[in-house]
């Protein structure tokens, strides 16, 4: 198969797909008798990534596959396409999400023990509705509390291939204040046929634990950084 044609098909699929595509999904784009191998697909993905080196878009591999997204260095300019107010993440939601991400599997009681306050039910409801967190089992203790863990959607949203790409917990614990913005990727805007990803302004931290503001996470515009509070994540 002509390599230029193969690369063009892959590029078009990634732009049109609006979601990460893995090697198997890319291979299915071709007739069986000319279907490229995984090695051929990876070679063209690497070639595309090289093509994008000096451009405003980049290739990103996440847990679900490969996608083409807006380069993070252009986030402030491109975010002007969506002038609506960025979603607001409460401190409580971000701390809860960070604890689940770093210490999974973890129970609700263990989260409360670290944070020193009860977990608002709306926080876990919001995280589960967004498919960032799920129940992965039960602790083998009296009461069999549910164990919580992150999902593939969580990795995709924050531009991670595996949990190993999370910044070291020690780096967060060393922070003396909030607003540590992890350098994570983004997901697509819910705006019609938009097919590339971009970053927006970081979410605004709220000091209350009500959970009401957390409902704004369902808004079409999505923030791109997971903000964690260092002092609460000591080992």
Torsion of CA 169, 173, 177, 178, to 10 degrees: 30
pLDDT for the residue 189: 33
Q: What's the pLDDT score for residue 105?
A: 94
Q: Does domain 88-233 have CATH number 1.10.10.10?
A: yes
Q: Is the pLDDT of residue 132 over 80?
A: yes
How is the chain split into domains, by residue range?
3-55, 88-233
The region of weakest confidence among 99-108, 114-123, 161-170 is 161-170
Provide the pLDDT confidence category of residue 183 given band limits of 50, 70 and 90: very low
Query: What is d(CA 215, CA 171) in angstroms, rounded to the nearest whole number?
Result: 29
Of all residues in the chain, what percent carry a pLDDT higher than 90? Answer: 46
Average per-residue pLDDT in the chain?
75
| 108 has a pLDDT exceeding 60 | yes
pLDDT over 50 (residue 233): no
Contacts 24+ apart (CB under 8 A), 33-41: 34/1, 36/1, 36/6, 40/1, 40/6, 41/6, 41/10
Task: pLDDT band for 37, please (50, 70, 90 cuts).
Answer: very high
Reply yes or no on whether the pLDDT at 169 is more than 70: no
Q: What is the pLDDT of residue 124?
A: 94
C-alpha to C-alpha distance for 39 and 18, rounded to whole angstroms = 24
Mean pLDDT of 156-170: 82
Does 40 have pLDDT greater than 90? Answer: yes
Residue 45 has pLDDT above 80, yes or no: yes
Confidence of residue 166 (pLDDT cuts 50, 70, 90): confident
Query: Does this model's pTM top 0.75?
Result: no
- For 62, other C-beta atoms within 10 Å of its C-beta total 25
**Residue with more model confidence, 105 or 94:** 105
Work out the pLDDT band at 80, boundaries 50, 70, 90: confident
If we measure between CA atoms, which residue out of 75, 71, 72, 63 comes closest to residue 20?
63
Would you state the pLDDT for residue 18?
86
Q: What is the mean pLDDT of residues 24-28?
A: 95
pLDDT band at 86 (very low <50, low <70, confident <90, very high): low
User: Could you tell me the pLDDT band of residue 84, with boundaries at 50, 70 and 90?
Assistant: confident
Burial 204-224 (b: 16+ CB within 10 A, else e): bbbeebebebbebbeeebbbb
């Amino acid at each position: 198969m002509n390599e230029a044609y193969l690369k063009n098909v892959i590029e078009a699929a990634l732009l049109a797909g609006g979601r990460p595509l893995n090697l198997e999904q890319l291979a299915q784009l071709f007739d069986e008798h000319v279907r490229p191998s995984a090695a051929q697909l990876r070679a063209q993905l690497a070639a595309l990534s090289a093509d994008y080196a000096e451009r405003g878009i980049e290739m990103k591999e996440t847990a679900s596959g490969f996608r083409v997204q807006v380069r993070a260095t252009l986030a402030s300019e491109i975010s002007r396409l969506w002038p609506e107010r960025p979603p607001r993440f409460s401190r409580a939601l971000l701390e809860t999400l960070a604890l689940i991400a770093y210490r999974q599997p973890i129970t609700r009681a263990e989260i409360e023990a670290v944070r020193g306050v009860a977990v608002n039910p709306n926080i876990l409801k919001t995280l589960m509705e967004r498919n960032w967190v799920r129940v992965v089992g039960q602790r083998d203790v009296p009461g069999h509390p549910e164990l919580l863990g992150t999902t593939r959607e969580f990795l995709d949203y924050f531009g991670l291939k595996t949990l190993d790409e999370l910044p070291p917990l020690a780096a967060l614990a060393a922070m003396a204040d909030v607003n540590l913005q992890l350098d994570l990727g983004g997901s697509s805007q819910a705006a019609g046929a938009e097919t590339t990803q971009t970053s927006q302004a970081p979410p605004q931290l709220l000091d209350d634990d009500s959970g009401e503001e957390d409902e704004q996470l369902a808004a079409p515009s999505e923030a791109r950084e997971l903000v964690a509070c260092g002092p609460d994540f000591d080992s």
